[in-house]
Structure formats: structure tokens, C-alpha cells
Chain A
């Protein structure tokens, strides 16, 4: 029996390991207008792990993230987030759980009628925290993404990369236990993409946050798997395969709603499946 069994939390009359696993998908299927999008997908996200989800457009990557937040309900299967079976929870119950899960949307989804300060502070203002506390935490969060100067700007005044960074600041302001990134580098130039990946790496290595990252860009995943964030230089550095850096990045590839690969960067490089070889080539 594994050593961590003593710390297992009970959830929905089943033993769910919430100490080591942040998200568990059990045979999850969902379709829209009779078209299956996910077909019996199962995977686990361990605490502190970043799982990179890849696949062609329409393979169900973004749907997985929306399912994790309960924004969509699966047709069948179970999804456990931080020990809660969210497939059986009501919307009201989900609102509380969502405070522990942050998401960065594909197009940032910033509230266009609010400035950067109010966008980042949205969750804190909904909790009616004191104004001084809100201001302090907003500045901390914006400082993390190096965007303090844009605090009074509106989303329309920001570039695509800046909007994505504000999205990250908004997602991390409550220090969630799980972060979901939906194509965080999509449509950005290579330099801005590297900045975003470095921020994701910083969140992973400094705060040990579990994360699911959907991306089309293979190099983003490999950068995460082969680099670590160095707090001294405030930049990422190659890990050179050193296990002591505690880098935990895994990959999952979706094809027509099914997970056709799950494993490490090394295993992905060794795979013989023709479809995956063509995908990563």
C-alpha cells in the first residue's frame, strides 16, 4: 500500500487522494449536438505537476479545461478537482471551489469595461476585502507579471501579450492550488511567448502550483520540461536533465477526443506511434 494512504481525504463516499492528486478525470465523455468531443478520457494531474495538453484544433483540449472548472458538465464519467466530484456539484457549490482554481483564457477574457486594476482585483472585490488589502495584492500580482505600470489602463489599450499577462495576474491573485492555461502563447510573437512561458515556469517552480496547459506549440511544452526558473537571476535556465531541480512536466496528446499519449518529454521523444511522430515532428 502506498505510504500516502493515511492522508487520503474522503470524497463522495470514495477514497480520493487529494494530497498527491489535484485533478482526476475518470472515463470522461462529452459531445456537442451529437458530435463527440471527448470520448472516455482518463488522466491524473499530480500536485505540483504541469501537464501540457496538445492536439490538433477541435480535439477537445479547451473542453478539458472548462470541464475542470465545471463550466461544462460531462455526458458521462467523473471529474475530481481537489477531492471534489464536480460532476455532482451544483453551480452554487462550484463557485466556492472555483476560488481555488485559476484560469487564463485563450483570448484573456478580460472585462473590457474594467481597467487592469479592477480586472485583477475582481475576485477580491467580490469578497469585499478592504481597499488597502486589495490594492496591495493587485500590485503584488501585477509585479509578478511585470506589468505594474499598466494598472490604470483598459484592456483595449493593451497588446496581446500584455492582456495575457493581466490574465495570469488575475488568475494567480488568490494563489490558487490549480492553474489552467488555455493556449497562453497563441497568436503571440516568439519573444512574448517566451515571456509568458517564463511566467508559467515561475509560478510552477516558485509556488509549486499544479497546472494544466493547453497549447499548439510543442516548443512551449519542451521549454517547460527542460528549464527551471532561477529566482536569483529571475530568468529561466536549462535544467540539463538534473532531477534535483524538481521539474515535473508531463505531456498528453489528444486525437479525436481520446488521449493517445501520456508521459514525460523523454517518453514523447521515444514514441513510435506514426501519428504522434508526425505531430511532434
Chain B
């Protein structure tokens, strides 16, 4: 492994942050500049949104099931088993739905973006695009950012709903709770602020997934080995940033409420 001096490490880190910030700002600024590449955006929305649907549904379902199983054990001790729906609903909508959906989409799509753009970078296709008079940030990055942000919103709603259904299956079949009681409890647990929090987070996480994936793709160096490295780093950094930003956003929304 190559040894890097602390000065070089700091220099490279600052440069990476600068390049990431530049890509992020440019991907947003391109929203106001023509052309908008709507066909590419719709294609990406299909790949990211529809393509991620199975894993998001499975993740949401099992999370709801596990939540119901775990919370029921504790609630049973206090004779409050009827509150299972409330706990599943609150946890799914406010926290687990957005975060787990984002982590799954990051694993699938941040890696996909990094490897696709990385392969294009190392085979000079990005340079060819620039040479042919097309802005790769506009053609490749912005459509991915728009479609990921857009689709994350709906994927999270689906994940929340499927999670609640998972919790209901356990409550109804194993805990012997009445369906109406479960859904009433789940509905009453949610306040306006919780729904806003749960739907605002995926927009930010979607932006992180797409920009991190595209950043590592667009800065790939070193042939096929470099593509592999970029793919791994994209998933790791997207996941870490999502969790860190989630902590900040959670505190922010608590303060605002």
C-alpha cells in the first residue's frame, strides 16, 4: 500500500471535498440551463426507481416484521401490546423507512453510477463527450441527481407502507391484535411533523446517493482496478454520509418542532 504524507493526505482530502462540492453545485445549476435531457432523466428514473422497487419492498417488509416482533416483547411486559402499531408506524415513517431505503438504494445505485461513469472515464468516453461539445455533467450527472431525488421520495413512501403492512401481519397473525386497533394506533402515532421529517429526509439522501456515486465515477483513475475501487468507495461514502446527515437532520427537525 502506498504511504502518503499527512500533508499530501490533507491536500487530497481538501481537493476531494472541493471537487465534490463543485459537482454538486453544478448538478443543481444545470437544472436552470438547457438542454435538460428529459429522456435521460426518465430512463434513469426507471432504472433507479422501478429497478430498486423489489429490494425496497423486501427491506421495508422485513423491517416492519422485525420491529413488530421486537417491540411486542417489551410492550407485552407493560401490558401495552396494543401500542405495537404506534411504535412500528413511528419508527418506520420517521427513521427506518428513509434511512434503510436510502442505504439499499445507495448499495444498488451509487455503485451502479460509479461503475458506469467510471468505466466511461477510463475508456475516454467522458473526454469524447466533452470533445463532441456535450457537457457530461449536464448529460450524465444532472439526470441521475434529479431522478434519484424524485424516486427516493416515492420509494420511501412505498417502504413505509410495506413496513406497516409487515408489522400488521405479525400483529394480526402472531400477536392476536385486532386489525382496526393496529391501523388506528399506527395512524394516531403520526403527527404532521413526523410525516414531513420522513418525507424530507429521502430528498436529501437521494441527492447524496447520486452526487457521491457520480463523483466517484467521474474521478475514477487507474483502469478496471480503479473502477472497482470507485464502486466500493461510492457505496461506503454514500452510506456513511447518509447516516451522518441523518443524525444532523433528526436533531434539526426535533429543534424545529
Interface residues of A (CB under 8 A from B): 66, 69, 71, 91-92, 95-96, 98-99, 101, 103, 105-107, 109-112, 122-123, 126, 170
Contacts and interface: CB of A to CB of B under 8 A. Distances in A.
A112 B116 CA distance: 11
B140 to A, nearest CB: 11
B124 interface: yes
Which 7 pairs from chain A and chain B are nearest by CB? Answer: A109-B128, A109-B124, A98-B133, A95-B133, A103-B131, A99-B133, A123-B132
Given A107-B124, A109-B125, A122 B132 contact: yes
Given A71-B130, A98-B130, A112 B125 contact: yes
Given A106-B124, A107-B124, A111-B125, A91 B131 contact: no
Contacts of A112: 119, 123, 125
11 contacts: A91-B135, A92-B135, A95-B134, A96-B133, A98-B131, A98-B133, A105-B124, A105-B128, A109-B127, A110-B125, A123-B132
A110 B119 CA distance: 12
Given A91-B135, A95-B135, A105 B130 contact: no
Assign chain B's interface to a size class.
Answer: 10 to 19
Interface string B125-150: 10111111111000000000000000
Nearest to B134: A126
A91 B119 CA distance: 23
Contacts of A106: 124
Most buried by A among B123, B129, B133: B133
A109 B133 contact: no
Contacts of B133: 95-96, 98-99, 123, 126
A183 B54 CA distance: 47
Contacts of B120: 111
A123 B134 CA distance: 8
Nearest to A119: B128
Contacts of A107: 123-124
A126 B132 contact: yes
A96 B134 CA distance: 9
Contact of A111 (B128, B131, B135): B128
Contacts of B135: 91-92, 95
Contacts of B131: 69, 71, 98, 101, 103, 105
B127 A71 contact: yes
A98 B127 contact: no
Given A109-B127, A112-B125, A126-B134, 4 more contacts: A69-B131, A71-B130, A103-B131, A109-B123
